[in-house]
């Protein structure tokens, strides 16, 4: 009984998360290359022109992948109840040993907020990026480009803060979590402690 | 090396546009077919193949009912250049030792951000989507020659020389302050205006767009700080509080 595994993520969700993460890494690396004229980074891509092509097309992959996440995470993220508030009030138990956390859905309140943030910032960075790339025919194009440039960079800064924390929380901070991104399964006992509501709904 | 500059004196200009032609000849830029729109100003705007042009301003005054102002228009070679600031491609836009804002088409990635960041709306893009603009004939001036426009100007309306020397001479001639003397770290094209810059079609206080300055001063460092801070906070949490061990989770 103690070793029973349950499925938390299907193949589509796993693959899509890797697509999002992979394109994000390419975009971030080339983004830093552009932002600070990092010759070593340009050398990885070959030239600034090639780096731009990678940046633009990784942006397409990122955008499609971001859109697909909606089916996995948006409905549950929008359900924000008193148990979620309880999670927030205790900061998810990350700053206290043995904190009693209210039962959570398939993703906890922190993950819900993180997802909503990623969706919002992702739409902002993608829309502004496509605007700069495609330069649609609009009046006062220079003003719109400057606005897009601003939005693109604000969103980038927010990503730079949020994503490392996300990676930490999904790996080192929570042993046993990263396997979801590989196998999609977790031990039932593990899930009962962290996602009680979901486990219950699944009928365990 | 002393910073070089052009001195533009609109009142000396006779509108012959020899500067436009000489520029095209030196920089090997083809002519463009234009339509007569009722003004002798031709072509009507800077193009990828037109690095400089004479702006014709008809501005009658009380004493002079036929006052024409001819203003040479081109890249201003700002010391603090918005185009260089925003450009994401290493080596596409750069300052030469003479102070010219020059470009290298091979390094340009065609993003056109410089078009938006230029306070004077100067950069244009050629058919290959590469930046194209006045570079102060940086190949000529590197060899001690005057730019083609200044070399050919028959009236001295465009003069080339050491920037400090130009400022000194014009001050002696009675110009308190030249247009472009202080703006944007000092422009590489100075104008001896006898009236308000507005009348000559120039921005009174040109500046790099505020969003670009904010991005450069705040958002850029924040990218590193945010990343470093988030990684540091994670490490600190790992050391000070530690991971959530399964047996500790209730």
Q: Note whether B234 contacts A49, CB cutoff 8 Å.
A: no
Q: Note whether A35 contacts B211, CB cutoff 8 Å.
A: no
Q: Does residue A63 sit in helix, strand or coil?
A: helix
Q: Note whether A35 contacts B223, CB cutoff 8 Å.
A: yes
Does residue B14 lie within any of the structural domains?
yes
Clarify whether residues B127 and B58 are in a common domain: yes
Q: Supply the range of the domain harboring residue B27.
A: 4-200
Q: Which residues contact B185 (CB under 8 A, 6 or more apart)?
A: B78, B79, B80
Higher pLDDT, B146 or B67: B146
In chain A, positions 7-66, which contact chain B (CB-CB < 8 Å)? Answer: 32, 34-37, 39, 42, 48-49, 51-52
Percent of chain B scored above 90 by pLDDT? 86
Does residue B179 lie within any of the structural domains?
yes
Clarify whether residues B111 and B8 are in a common domain: yes
Clarify whether residues B146 and B51 are in a common domain: yes
**CB contacts, 8 Å: B249 with chain A:** 93, 101, 193-194
* For range B50-66, the mean pLDDT: 90
Instruction: Out of B211, B234, B237, name the one closest to residue A150 (CB).
Output: B211
ipTM (interface pTM): 0.93
Clarify whether residues B141 and B164 are in a common domain: yes
**For residues B9 and B150, what is the distance between their CA atoms, to the nearest angstrom?**
12
Q: pLDDT-based confidence at B67, cuts 50/70/90? A: confident
Clarify whether residues B12 and B95 are in a common domain: yes
pLDDT at A5: 94
Residue A1 has pLDDT above 70, yes or no: no
Residue B95 has pLDDT above 80, yes or no: yes
Q: What is the DSSP letter of B97?
A: T
**CB contacts, 8 Å: A145 with chain B:** 112-113, 115-116
Does residue B205 lie within any of the structural domains?
no
CATH number of the domain that residue B80 is part of: 3.30.70.20
* For range B38-49, the mean pLDDT: 91
Compute the mean pLDDT over every residue in chain B, rounded to the nearest whole number.
Answer: 95
In chain A, positions 65-104, which contact chain B (CB-CB < 8 Å)? Answer: 93-95, 97-101
Does residue B105 lie within any of the structural domains?
yes
Clarify whether residues B84 and B171 are in a common domain: yes
**For residues B112 and B133, what is the distance between their CA atoms, to the nearest angstrom?**
13
CA distance B92 to chain A (A): 10
Best CA proximity match to B158, nearest among B35, B38, B2, B15: B15
Nearest chain A residue to B92, by CA: A48
Q: Does residue A7 sit in helix, strand or coil?
A: strand
Q: How many structural domains is chain A composed of?
A: 1
CATH number of the domain that residue A197 is part of: 1.20.950.20
**For residues B163 and B225, what is the distance between their CA atoms, to the nearest angstrom?**
39
pLDDT at B60: 85
Contact by Cβ (8 Å): A77, A116: yes
Higher pLDDT, A74 or B64: A74
Clarify whether residues B88 and B149 are in a common domain: yes
Q: pLDDT-based confidence at B250, cuts 50/70/90? A: low
Q: pLDDT-based confidence at A3, cuts 50/70/90? A: confident
Q: Supply the range of the domain harboring residue A55.
A: 5-201
**pLDDT, tens only, A129-140:** 999 999 999 999
**pLDDT, tens only, B136-176:** 999 999 999 999 999 999 999 999 999 999 999 999 999 98
Clarify whether residues B222 and B154 are in a common domain: no
pLDDT at A36: 97
* For range B184-212, the mean pLDDT: 95
Residue B208 has pLDDT above 90, yes or no: yes
Q: pLDDT-based confidence at B40, cuts 50/70/90? A: confident
**pLDDT, tens only, A45-103:** 999 999 999 999 999 999 999 999 999 999 999 999 999 999 999 999 999 877 789 99
Kindly report the pTM of this predicted structure: 0.94
**CB contacts, 8 Å: A191 with chain B:** none
Residue B54 has pLDDT above 90, yes or no: yes
Clarify whether residues B106 and B221 are in a common domain: no
Q: What is the three-state SS of B195-247?
A: CCHHHHCCCCCCCCCHHHHHHHHHHHHHHHHHHHHHHHHHHHHHHHCCCCCHH
Find the range with the poorest average confidence among A176-190, B61-75, B104-118.
B61-75
Q: State which of B165, B181, B200 marks the end of a domain.
A: B200
Q: Does residue B28 sit in helix, strand or coil?
A: coil
Clarify whether residues B86 and B161 are in a common domain: yes
Q: How many structural domains is chain B composed of?
A: 2
**pLDDT, tens only, B17-31:** 999 999 999 999 999
Q: Note whether B243 contacts A175, CB cutoff 8 Å.
A: yes
Clarify whether residues B170 and B218 are in a common domain: no
Residue B37 has pLDDT above 90, yes or no: no
Clarify whether residues B183 and B219 are in a common domain: no
Q: What is the DSSP letter of B12?
A: G
pLDDT at A2: 61
pLDDT at B196: 92
């Amino acid at each position: 009984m103690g070793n029973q595994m349950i499925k938390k993520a299907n193949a589509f969700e796993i693959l899509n998360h890797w697509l999002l993460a992979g394109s994000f890494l390419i975009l971030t690396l080339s983004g830093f290359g552009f932002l600070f004229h990092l010759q070593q980074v340009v050398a990885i891509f070959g030239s600034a022109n090639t780096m731009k092509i990678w940046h633009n097309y990784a942006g397409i992959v990122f955008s499609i992948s971001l859109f697909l996440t909606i089916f996995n995470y948006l409905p549950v993220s929008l359900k924000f109840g008193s148990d979620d508030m309880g999670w927030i009030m205790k900061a998810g138990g990350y700053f206290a040993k043995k904190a009693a956390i209210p039962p959570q859905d398939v993703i906890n309140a922190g993950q819900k907020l993180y997802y909503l943030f990623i969706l919002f910032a992702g739409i902002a960075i993608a829309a502004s990026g496509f605007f700069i790339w495609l330069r649609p025919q609009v009046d006062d194009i220079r003003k719109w480009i400057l606005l897009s440039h601003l939005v693109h960079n604000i969103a980038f800064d927010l990503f730079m803060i949020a994503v490392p924390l996300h990676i930490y929380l999904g790996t080192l901070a929570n042993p046993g979590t990263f396997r979801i991104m590989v196998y999609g399964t977790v031990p039932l006992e593990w899930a009962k402690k962290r996602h009680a509501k979901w486990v219950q709904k699944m009928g365990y | 090396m002393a910073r070089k500059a052009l001195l533009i004196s609109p009142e000396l200009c006779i509108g012959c546009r020899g500067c436009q032609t000489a520029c095209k000849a030196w920089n090997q830029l083809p002519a463009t077919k234009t339509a007569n729109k009722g003004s002798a100003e031709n072509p009507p705007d800077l193009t990828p193949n037109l690095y400089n042009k004479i702006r014709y301003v008809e501005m009658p005054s009380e004493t002079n009912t036929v006052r024409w102002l001819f203003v040479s228009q081109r890249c201003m070679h700002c010391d603090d250049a918005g185009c260089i600031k925003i450009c994401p491609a290493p080596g596409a836009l750069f300052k030469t030792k003479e102070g010219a804002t020059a470009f290298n088409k091979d390094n340009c990635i065609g993003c056109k951000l410089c078009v938006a960041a230029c306070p004077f709306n100067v950069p244009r893009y050629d058919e290959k989507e590469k930046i194209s603009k006045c570079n102060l004939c940086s190949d000529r001036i590197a060899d001690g020659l005057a730019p083609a426009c200044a070399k050919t100007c028959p009236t001295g309306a465009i003069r080339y020389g050491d920037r400090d020397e130009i400022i000194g001479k014009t001050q002696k001639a009675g110009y308190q302050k030249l247009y472009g003397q202080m703006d944007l770290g000092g422009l590489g094209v100075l104008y001896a205006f006898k009236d308000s810059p507005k009348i000559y079609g120039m921005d009174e206080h040109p500046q790099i767009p505020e969003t670009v300055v904010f991005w450069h001063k705040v958002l850029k460092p924040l990218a590193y700080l945010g990343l470093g801070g988030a990684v540091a906070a994670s490490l600190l949490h790992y050391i000070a509080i530690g991971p959530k061990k399964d047996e500790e989770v209730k």
